[in-house]
Structure 1
Amino acid sequence: MKKYAFGVDIGGTTVKIGLFETNGQLVEKWEIPTRKEDNGSQILPDIAASLAGKLSGRGISKDEVEGIGIDVPGPILQDEIVNKCVNLGWGVLNVAAEVKKLTGIDEVKVANDANAAALGEMWKGGGESHKNVVMVTLGTGVGGGIILNGKILPGNFGAAGEIGHMTMNLDEDQACGCGKKGHLEQYASATGIARRAKEVLAASDKPSKLREIENPDAKAVFDAAKEGDELALEIVDFVGRTLGLALATISCVVDPEVYVIGGGVSKAGEILTDAVKKYFVKYAFHASEGTEFALAELGNDAGMYGAVKMVIKD
């Protein structure tokens, strides 16, 4: 195996790039702007130019580079083709073929950003030492990634791991961001938790620290719950029950060793994971009750680590 590899995490605002040694050591990381004008036509050329500049600056030949791993915020087919990426202005695009042409480096693999983050956490983060991992990302929405036997499970249409769009409530009358109703991210995301707080406060006369805050967000809910606030604890219990049920259902299909929970909401820590695990054990098939729960450790670098792992052989 050659000495170096690149991990590239393409986001809607910036592109995070890491130069790694193929033993897994991060040598350097940096960012460039994501130029989305003209349907994102400059994004890949900008990345290629940045990689070339870094190699030149460090005196590294491209012949010393094992490959380039890239993640993008969209569904990926065959480890190379993005099947539309609205956030970047792309339609169907063979990202791998384009990057090979621009860089002259033959080994290029592409993954969905959430899947890459899951692979990164399995390799160097909260799921380290495991090969079967499901990552749950609780942010503005709910994302996920599935790793089986150390490899990303993308699904036939690139939609495996989209756990935020599991239907949890058939009676929901408000639409999810995707247009359908009753999805997990309407209840377990930061947005969903804030919505639940508003509903609970309106339906009850109980005193609560949350009443002192205009439009309490997910962090306010968990902070109040840690102080024993009764209404906040009810909201946390609701989130734990909903997410615990969702993960128990997932375990009946992929049966991971560990669930790694990341995203902004995960900063709540053990009060969140304890609530989820309580209901997971209640609802899970008995053989899966021992599944572990861990918090993500790589933060915003998870996608970059997962991207490079796709081109680094064990």
Structure 2
Amino acid sequence: MAKSLIGIDLGGTTTKMAFLTHEGEITQKWNIPTDISDDGAHIVPNIIKSLKETISKSGYTTNSFIGIGMGTPGAVDIENGTVINAFNLNWTKTQHVRDQTQSALGLPFVLENDANVAALGEFWKGAGEKDTDVIFVTLGTGVGGGVIAGGHLLHGVNGGAGEIGHVCVQPNGYLCTCGKRGCLERYASATGIVQVAKDMTADFTGHSRLKELFDNQEDVTSKMVVYLADNGDILASRIVDKVAFYLGLALANSANLLNPANIIIGGGVSAAGNTLLQPTTRYFQENTFPAVRDSTRLKMAQLGNDAGAIGAASLALRFE
């Protein structure tokens, strides 16, 4: 019988884990809280403990598996299986994730960037439809991306390929955590949308429920902005349109360069669905040249929260 795969999607609050068949069907999935205390020292030991327990409880042995793939935030060194500067995990020093996990479980292990594994998941089992050229963009707390060209994930010379969140969409715009200004991440992430909303509300003089919320110092979220836009709030609609403009522009520039078959939009903000997709598609088409406009499609991701674990598991196929 073909051996199974293990996929891990490490996030700032939750670590998602799954056992998958050789073909990429999830047979079991679970998650554990990500404990970022003590400079993230408990993260890997907790993953190892949970895997050991679940493997034995499920009647498997380590021999049942080909290997383990894992996606993580931060700067990943694939060759050495290490990660550094994963600030939302409190990992500021180099973490030897592969060596720790491999020696504890006796299974081959491969580490990859979290946006890249989500891209691989959608490419393998989701909206990618097995096209060999796909761009994946994830809109969450930040904005991440992954590029698959000719069936291969692009890494670039220093692992920085596919960082669509740091495409400049507004010269001298908002300051980004990366140190430069005007990054897409500062406009199209969950936090970015709220920032755009704040600034546009300050200049708005008409009647708007969203303006009332800000005036009453209530906590406004990107979900609320989208909900109000859906329900005809004129200010909220303008904000979503502005965000869609920035997103459409960044995706158009990426598509003009790479001409993928599909650009797949995932992450929490993508729950906005057509409210965001329709205007984004319009701005995308305005900013692409004809050959790309005719061949590249924008689509919503299909795998939701499972994309990362599925894509991570696909990495383990290399150990066959």
TM-score by length of 2: 0.88
Give 1:310 shift. 0.9
For residue 143 of structure 2, what is the aligned residue in structure 1? 142
For residue 60 of structure 1, what is the aligned residue in structure 2? 60
The alignment partner of 2:71 has SS state of strand
- Equivalent pair of 2:78/2:112 in contact (CA under 8 Å): no
Deviates more, 1:85-94 or 1:139-148: 85-94
The AA in structure 1 aligned to 2:104 is L
For residue 128 of structure 1, what is the aligned residue in structure 2? 129
Give 1:248 shift. 1.0
- What percentage of residue pairs aligned between the two structures are identical? 42
Give 1:245 shift. 0.9
The AA in structure 2 aligned to 1:245 is L
- Equivalent pair of 1:75/1:157 in contact (CA under 8 Å): no
Give 1:250 shift. 0.8
For residue 250 of structure 1, what is the aligned residue in structure 2? 254
TM-score by length of 1: 0.90
Give 1:66 shift. 0.6
2:53 counterpart of 1:49: no
The AA in structure 2 aligned to 1:282 is E
For residues 35 and 226 of structure 1, the distance between their equivalents in structure 2, rounded to whole angstroms, comes to 37
Counterparts of 1:1-314 in structure 2, within 5 Å, are 2-78=2-78, 80-90=81-91, 91-105=93-107, 107-172=108-173, 174-214=174-214, 216-289=220-293, 290-312=295-317
Number of equivalent positions: 312
The alignment partner of 2:95 has SS state of strand
Q: Return closer, same or farther for 1:256/1:4 CA change in 2, 3 Å cut-off.
A: same
Deviates more, 1:174-183 or 1:60-69: 174-183
Give 1:244 shift. 0.9
The AA in structure 1 aligned to 2:99 is A
RMSD over aligned CA atoms reads: 2.3
- Equivalent pair of 1:76/1:154 in contact (CA under 8 Å): no
Give 1:10 shift. 1.6
The AA in structure 1 aligned to 2:229 is A
For residues 241 and 84 of structure 1, the distance between their equivalents in structure 2, rounded to whole angstroms, comes to 31
Deviates more, 1:255-264 or 1:46-55: 46-55
The AA in structure 2 aligned to 1:46 is N
The AA in structure 1 aligned to 2:95 is L
Q: Return closer, same or farther for 1:221/1:88 CA change in 2, 3 Å cut-off.
A: closer
For residues 149 and 207 of structure 2, the distance between their equivalents in structure 1, rounded to whole angstroms, comes to 46
Give 1:87 shift. 3.1
The alignment partner of 2:280 has SS state of helix
Q: Return closer, same or farther for 1:30/1:217 CA change in 2, 3 Å cut-off.
A: closer
For residues 89 and 274 of structure 1, the distance between their equivalents in structure 2, rounded to whole angstroms, comes to 37
For residues 92 and 7 of structure 1, the distance between their equivalents in structure 2, rounded to whole angstroms, comes to 22
Give 1:161 shift. 2.1
For residues 302 and 186 of structure 1, the distance between their equivalents in structure 2, rounded to whole angstroms, comes to 24
Give 1:42 shift. 3.5
Give 1:127 shift. 2.3
Give 1:18 shift. 0.5
Q: Return closer, same or farther for 1:288/1:7 CA change in 2, 3 Å cut-off.
A: same
Give 1:121 shift. 1.6
The alignment partner of 1:261 has SS state of strand
Q: Return closer, same or farther for 1:234/1:70 CA change in 2, 3 Å cut-off.
A: same
For residues 274 and 175 of structure 1, the distance between their equivalents in structure 2, rounded to whole angstroms, comes to 28
The alignment partner of 1:168 has SS state of coil
Unpaired runs of 5+ residues, structure 1, are: none
Unpaired runs of 5+ residues, structure 2, are: none
